[in-house]
Chains A and B, each alone.
Chain A
Amino acid sequence: MISLEVVYVLMGLMTAGVAVVDLLDRTRPRRYSNALFWGCYAVTFLAGSRLPPVVTGTLVIVMALVPSVRKLAPAPPEAATPAEREASAARWGNWLFIPALTIPAVTLLGTLTLGHIRVGGRPLVEAREVTLVSLALAIVCALVVAMAMLRPGRAAPVTEARRLLDAVGWAAVLPQLLAALGAVFALAGVGQAVTTVVERWIPLDTPFAAVAAFTVGMAIFTMIMGNAFAAFPVMTAGIGLPLIVHRFGGDVVIMAAVGMLSGFCGTLMTPMAANFNIVPAALLELPNENDVIKVQIPTGLLLLVTNTAIMYLFVYR
C-alpha cells in the first residue's frame, strides 16, 4: 500500500537535506536563516501527521517570520561552468532528454495503471491519490535514471535541490500556505459575509446585470481568494442560483460551467494564485515576482469578456 504519507517522507528528507547543506555552507551569509526555514518545513513533512496542530501552526508562524525579519540568502552559484555544461551537452546529446521525459512518461503510465493494481484485495494506491503518487514515483524513476547515467556523485541530488530551492526561496511555501488560508477563511464564514455584501449593495434587476455580476464577481472573488474553488460556492449561492437560474430562468449547467471558467480568468491575474503565478516567476529567475501575471492579464480580461458573452447568449435560451 503506497500512500501520500510515503511521498511526504521523501519531501521531508529532501527539505531536511537542503537545510543541512545550507547550514554547513560557511561561505555564504545568512545561512542560519535558510537552514531554519527549510528545517521547519522539513518537520511539517516528516512529523506533520503526528504533531499536535498548535505545534505545526507555530512552525508555520516561524516560517513566515524568518524571511520577514531578514531576507533569505539567494541561490548559490551553479556547480558547473557554462563551458563545462556546453561540453557535457555535446557529449550526451539527446540522451539528456531521457530522464527529463521519464517524468511525464511514468506519470502517464502510473495514472493509467496504478489504480487497478490490488494487493491482497486492497488497492495498491488509493484512487484519489493515484495522480500524485504517480508523479512522485515518476520523479524517483527519473532520479534513478539520471544518477545511473550521469554519475555525478552521491551528494549531487541534495546540493542541486538546494541550489534550485534557494533560488525559489519562500515562494516555494506560499501556495501551500494560501490553501491553508482558504480553509481558515471557510471556518470563519468569510463566504457568507461576501454574499451578504453582494446581495445588499449591488443592483441586479436585469438578466444581463445578473450574468455580468456573476462572471465578474467570480473573477474578482477568485483573485482575492487565489482559488476559483473557494469563490464558486459563494458566488453561486449568492447570484448564480437565486438570480440567474431561479428568477430569470437560466440554464443551471451553463451558469455553473461558464461561471467556474470565469473564475479561472481571475486565477490568471492574481498573486494569490501563487503556485501558478508567483512560483514560476521565482523558478525562471524573473526580476519581478508579478512578471508572469503581467503577461497573463490581457488574456484573462479578454477571456472574461468572452465568457460573459457566452453565458449571456446561451444561458437564457
Chain B
Amino acid sequence: MDLLPLIGIAVVVAGFALRLNPLLVVVVAALVTGVAAGHSLGDVVGALGTAFVDSRSVAIVWLALPVIGLLERAGLKERARTVISGIRVATTGRLLLVYMALRQITAALGLTSLGGHAQMVRPLVAPMAEAAAESRWGEPSMRTRFRIRAHAAAVDNVGVFFGEDIFIAIGSILLIRGFLEQNGILVTPTSLALWAIPTAVAAFVIHGARLFLLDRSLRATIARERAAAPAEGDGALVTAEAERA
C-alpha cells in the first residue's frame, strides 16, 4: 500500500507549526500530495482550480459585510451596548448561554444559517457580551475584552455543531446514511438524529457550566484590573515625572 500521499499531511502540520502563511501551506500541501500520488503538476493545478471554484459557496457569508459595515458606521455596536446595559440580569455568561441555546435549537430545526460570526457575532453578540461585563463589573482591559470576544465566537460554534445533527436532512446525516448504504447497511435518518441528542445535551451542559465559571472569572479579573489600574497609572506618571526631572 502506497503511503506517499500522506506527505501532504506532513506539509500541513509542519507549515502550521512553523507559522508560515496558511494559504501558502495549503497550496503547497495540495501540489505535493497530487504529484506524490503520480499526477502531473499541470493536472494538480487544474484539480486545485476546479476544487476551489466548486467550493465558492463557502464564501457567501462575506456578502453580509457591506450591510454590517454600514450599520457599524451608524452606531449598531454602540446601540447593542446601550440595550444590554439596560437589562439588569444580563451577565456575559448568561447572555452567551441564551445565544448558544437559540443557536442550538434553530440548528436542530435545520436553520443553520440564522447565526454566524459575520452576521450575528461581530455586530451583535460580541458587543453585547462586552457591554454586559462593562455595566456589571466595570471597564475591562483590552485583554479581557479579547477573551470575551473569543467566547462569543465559541458559543456560535458549539451551538451549531451540536444542534445541527438533530435535524434529519442536514449534510452530515445524509453523508452517514449514504456511506452506510454504499456498504450495504440501511439506516433511517431519524434514528441517527435521535442518537445525536445525548451529545447535544452534554455539549450544552459542559459549555454552559464553563460560561457560568466565565462569569465568576470575569468578575474577579475585572475587579483585580480595576484595583491595579489606577495604581499602575499613577506609577507610570510618577516614573515619567521622575525622568523629566
Interface residues of A (CB under 8 A from B): 4, 7-8, 10-11, 14, 44-45, 48-49, 51-61, 63-65, 67-68, 78-80, 85-90, 92-94, 96-97, 99-100, 103-104, 107-108, 111, 131-132, 134-136, 139, 142-143, 146-147, 150, 152, 156-161, 163-165, 170-185, 187-190, 192-194, 196-197, 224, 228-229, 232-233, 236-237, 241, 252-254, 256-258, 260-261, 264, 267-268, 271-272, 274-281, 283-284, 286-287, 291-292, 294-296, 298-299, 302-303, 306-307, 310
Contact yes or no, A268 B157, CB < 8 A: yes
Say yes or no: A63-B57 contact (C-beta < 8 A), given A103-B119, A280-B153.
Answer: no
A310 & B71 in contact (Cβ 8 Å cutoff): no
- Chain A-chain B contacts (Cβ-Cβ < 8 Å), number: 408
Would B20 and A68 count as touching, CB distance under 8 A? yes
Find out whether the CB atom of B1 lies under 8 angstroms from the CB atom of A184. Answer: no
Which residue of A has the minimal Cβ distance to B54?
A183
A252-B75 in contact given A257-B192, A286-B146 (Cβ < 8 Å): no
Q: With an 8 A cutoff between CB atoms, is B171 at the interface?
A: yes
On chain A, the residues within 8 Å of B24 by CB distance are 64-65, 68
Q: How far does the alpha carbon of A283 sit from the alpha carbon of B210 in the complex, in Å?
A: 23
Given contacts A164-B65, A184-B51, A256-B180, 16 further A-B contacts (CB under 8 A): A60-B27, A64-B23, A86-B75, A146-B74, A150-B70, A157-B70, A161-B65, A161-B69, A180-B51, A180-B54, A189-B2, A232-B172, A253-B191, A271-B16, A286-B150, A292-B153
Known interface pairs A143-B67, A188-B34. Does A180 touch B52 (Cβ–Cβ under 8 Å)?
Answer: yes
SS class of chain A's interface: helix, strand, loop or mixed? helix
Please determine whether B48 and A236 come into contact, CB atoms closer than 8 angstroms.
no
Question: Does B66 lie at the interface of the complex (its beta carbon under 8 Å from any beta carbon of A)?
Answer: yes
CB-defined contacts of B30 to chain A, threshold 8 Å = 180-181, 184-185
In the assembled complex, the Cα of A56 lies from the Cα of B45 at a distance in Å of 8
Q: Is the CB of B39 within 8 A of A152?
A: no
Distance in angstroms between the alpha carbons of A111 and B111 in the assembled complex? 8
Question: How close is A77's CB to chain B, nearest CB, in angstroms?
Answer: 12
Q: A132-B57, A187-B47, A272-B12 are in contact. Are A108 and B111 (CB under 8 A)?
A: yes
Q: How far is the CA of A181 from the CA of B16 in the complex (A)?
A: 15
* Interface presence of B154 (CB below 8 A): yes
Q: A185-B8, A233-B179, A287-B146 are in contact. Are A59 and B79 (CB under 8 A)?
A: no
Nearest chain B CB to A316 CB, angstrom units: 14
Contact (A177, B26) CB under 8 Å given A48-B53, A229-B172: yes
Q: Which of A44, A165, A237 is the one whose CB lies under 8 Å from B52?
A: A44
Asked if B87 CB lies within 8 Å of chain A CBs, one says no
A260 to B202: give the CA distance in the assembly, Å: 15
Q: Are B75 and A85 in contact (CB-based, < 8 A)?
A: yes
Q: What CA separation (Å) do A52 and B42 show in the bound complex?
A: 12
Whether B73 pairs with A85 at a CB distance below 8 angstroms is yes
Separation in Å of the B138 CB from the closest CB of chain A? 19
Contact (A174, B152) CB under 8 Å given A14-B62, A184-B47, A284-B121: no
In the complex, chain A residues whose CB is within 8 Å of the CB of B68: 100, 160, 164
CA A281 to CA B112, docked complex, whole Å: 20
Complex Cα gap A24–B22 (Å)? 28
A231 → B minimal CB distance (Å) = 11
Q: Which of B12, B52, B152 is most buried by chain A, counting CB atoms within 10 A of its CB?
A: B52
Query: Could you tell me if B210 and A176 are in contact, using CB atoms closer than 8 angstroms?
Result: no
Closest-CB distance, B123 to chain A (whole angstroms): 6
Binding site for A on B (CB under 8 A): 1-6, 8-9, 12-13, 16, 20-24, 26-27, 29-30, 33-34, 36-37, 39, 42, 44-79, 82-83, 110-115, 117-124, 126, 146-147, 149-154, 156-158, 161-162, 165, 171-172, 175-176, 179-180, 183, 185, 187, 191-196, 198-199, 202-203, 206-207, 210
Q: How far is the CB of B35 from chain A (nearest CB, A)?
A: 9
Q: Is the Cβ of B192 less than 8 Å from the Cβ of A256?
A: yes
- Select which of B58, B79, B172, B195 is within 8 A of A97 by beta carbon: B79
Q: How far is the CA of A78 from the CA of B68 in the complex (A)?
A: 13
Min Cβ gap A109→B in Å is 11
Q: How far is the CA of A158 from the CA of B65 in the complex (A)?
A: 9
Contact yes or no, A54 B176, CB < 8 A: no
Complexed CA–CA distance, A292 and B147 (Å)? 9
Our pick among B13, B48, B71, B199 for the contact of A224 (Cβ within 8 Å) is: B13
A298 vs B208: C-alpha distance when bound (angstroms): 12
The 5 closest A-B pairs by CB, nearest first: A160-B69, A89-B75, A57-B49, A56-B49, A188-B37
Q: Say which residue of A89, A164, A310 sits within 8 Å of B69 (CB atoms).
A: A164
Verify B66–A158 contact, CB threshold 8 A: yes
- Tell me which of B55, B74, B149, B196 contacts A179 (CB under 8 A): B55
Which residues does chain B contribute within 8 Å of A54, judged by CB atoms? 42, 45-46, 49
A44-B53, A188-B36 known; A147-B70 Cβ under 8 A: yes
Contacts of A165 in B (CB 8 A): 62, 65
CA distance A291 to B12 in the complex (A): 20
